[in-house]
Amino acid sequence: MRYAANLLVVSDSPANNIEFCLIEAGYRCTRLSFLEMFEQDFGDQTFDLILIDGENNTAHVNVKDIARMAAENAFPTLLVGPADVKCRIQTISPGFCDLELISRVGSLVRLETMEQELARRIATTETYGVDLSTVTSPEPDIGEANILIVGSKTVVLGSILLRLDTRTNIHICKNPEMAIGDLRAQEFDAVILSGVGHGDSNLRLCNDIRADTRLYNLPVLMVLEDAENRRAAFVHGVSDVILHQTEMDALVSRVELQIQQYRYRFAIQKLFRVAKPHPVADGPTDLYSSGFMRTHLPVMFDEHAAQHKVLTVATIKIVNLEEVKEKHGYPSADQLLRQIGSALSNLVRGEDFCSHLDTGHFLIALPGTRKVEALIALKRVEGVLHATEFALPRLTEPIRVETAVGLAEVVPNDSIEDVVERGMSQGLGEEKAA
């Protein structure tokens, strides 16, 4: 069986409230007691993340010792329960909801997935003779990040400003209805929302961000005064939450994690831009070419199989492309493909691999993602594509697209053709009109 990631849960209670939730989300959990933890050699097994159950620590082990061991062995760590933020590890407070735990674990695992995909994509690109000396991994600290803070409540705003790095470029928008305009006017690394806002205005803003192709992947964090709003925040697409009364000292580490993911996305995009003069890009779609895809995907297949990690492949076919060609000509069809390719490159996650498959047919590989989660992401992508009016030169009316979708998890000995064919035949290939 393949998993989203391999997790080590350090807990003295088999009835802890961590494992069941994560197993349901597709993770493999190995539990050790706190004393057993110190008897293990980290090199015996490969874990993607260590979760320390601070609420079930009957041995009274100092979690700082485990955090130090994890740091020495380069293991991401999440402390569950009462936190000493001076440990400089990611934390989650008591009373967390399942979506919060899954989101926090997912963020830490995704960062490792992005690191692996950047290295993997560099290796494939170098086979084309490309000089990639200018492509590097992002620094872990915030640095001179551009952050938009949305809200007008003085106490919360002051708490946020007090904790952010003095090098950070802060912009304040007191009216959530004006925030989308600010976000479109310049580049930001993250948005921090001050609570849910009057009449849930900040939750609506988050929905608007997730519906915008340019802003879709922007990190959105919410500082909550009421812990009861945690679930609603995640349902509306917030990347992470910070409780104002108890977690403000963790603000910087939470923001750093989200911004580092966002910057890995840009590093992967920069890799593509540097490589474009070489034969790695498809002309009409401005995505990775079919040839590059057929070189890169087998490596992804093999590495995920070796790590027992799940990998899902999605395909999106533009059903009405031939109609556009017949009615408006080949140049308009090519322009439409270029705009769809641009939209997809903005909508997929940083670690996802998006390429041209065949004329009017796109492929997206989602590492570490089960079909059930990939389906949710793909429906969001489809929704944005269907809602977009593609404006083409010399046409007075915009074009809307119709799609056929395929989705399947990779299984042992799959070829690219196998997984694509299986995905299109498993009930997700029906046409969907705008």
pLDDT band of 60, cuts 50, 70, 90: confident
pLDDT band of 432, cuts 50, 70, 90: very low
| Architecture in CATH for domain 102-269 | 3-Layer(aba) Sandwich (3.40)
Average pLDDT of the chain, as a whole number: 89
Region label for 314, one of left (φ > 0), alpha (ψ between -120 and 50) or beta (otherwise)? beta
More confident residue, 428 or 38: 38
Q: Quote the pLDDT of residue 431.
A: 39
pLDDT band of 429, cuts 50, 70, 90: very low
Choosing among 3.60.20.10, 3.40.120.10, 3.40.50.2300, 3.10.450.50, the CATH entry for 6-92 is: 3.40.50.2300
Q: Quote the pLDDT of residue 98.
A: 92
Q: Which residues of 243-253 are buried (b: 16+ CB within 10 A; e: fewer)?
A: bbeebbebbbb
In sequence order, what DSSP letters do the residues of 100-159 get, joined into one string? HHHHHHHHHHHHHHHHHHHHHHHHHHHTTT---TT--PPPSS--S-EEEEE---HHHHHH
Spatial distance between the Cα atoms of 54 and 11, rounded to a whole number of angstroms: 8
Contact by Cβ (8 Å): 406, 423: yes
Whether domain 281-432 has CATH 3.30.70.270: the reply is: yes
Is the per-residue pLDDT at 39 higher than 80? no
pLDDT tens, position by position, 140-188: 788 889 999 999 889 999 999 999 988 899 999 999 999 999 999 999 9
Spatial distance between the Cα atoms of 354 and 378, rounded to a whole number of angstroms: 12
Is the per-residue pLDDT at 433 higher than 50? no
284 backbone dihedrals φ, ψ, rounded to 5°:
-60, -40
Spatial distance between the Cα atoms of 373 and 291, rounded to a whole number of angstroms: 28
Reported as type and span, the H/E element at residue 408 is strand 403-409
Q: Of 330, 357, 339, whose CA–CA distance to 416 is shortest?
A: 357
Contact by Cβ (8 Å): 150, 205: yes
Tokens of 197: 């806002």
Report strand pairing: 90-92 vs 77-80.
parallel
pLDDT band of 434, cuts 50, 70, 90: very low
Spatial distance between the Cα atoms of 417 and 422, rounded to a whole number of angstroms: 8
Token look-up 């919410």 returns 222
Contact by Cβ (8 Å): 244, 103: no
Give Cα separations from 103 to 110, 257, 285, 348 (angstroms).
10, 12, 32, 17
Contact by Cβ (8 Å): 138, 264: yes
Q: Do domains 6-92 and 281-432 have the same CATH topology?
A: no
Q: Quote the pLDDT of residue 85.
A: 52
Q: Quote the pLDDT of residue 41.
A: 64
pLDDT tens, position by position, 322-365: 998 899 888 888 999 999 999 999 899 999 999 999 989 999 99
pLDDT tens, position by position, 106-138: 999 999 999 999 999 999 999 999 999 999 888
pLDDT tens, position by position, 263-314: 999 999 999 999 999 999 998 899 999 999 999 999 999 999 999 999 999 9
Lowest-confidence range among 44-53, 246-255, 314-323, 371-380?
Answer: 44-53
pLDDT band of 87, cuts 50, 70, 90: low
Q: Of 228, 231, 221, whose CA–CA distance to 253 is shortest?
A: 221
Spatial distance between the Cα atoms of 338 and 333, rounded to a whole number of angstroms: 9
Q: Domains of the chain: which residue ranges? A: 6-92, 102-269, 281-432
Spatial distance between the Cα atoms of 34 and 67, rounded to a whole number of angstroms: 12
Spatial distance between the Cα atoms of 96 and 199, rounded to a whole number of angstroms: 24
> Which amino acid belongs to residue 173?
C
pLDDT tens, position by position, 391-411: 888 888 898 999 999 999 999
Is the per-residue pLDDT at 371 higher than 60? yes
Spatial distance between the Cα atoms of 23 and 70, rounded to a whole number of angstroms: 22
Is the per-residue pLDDT at 222 higher than 50? yes
Verdict on whether the full-model pTM lies above 0.85: yes
More confident residue, 394 or 422: 422
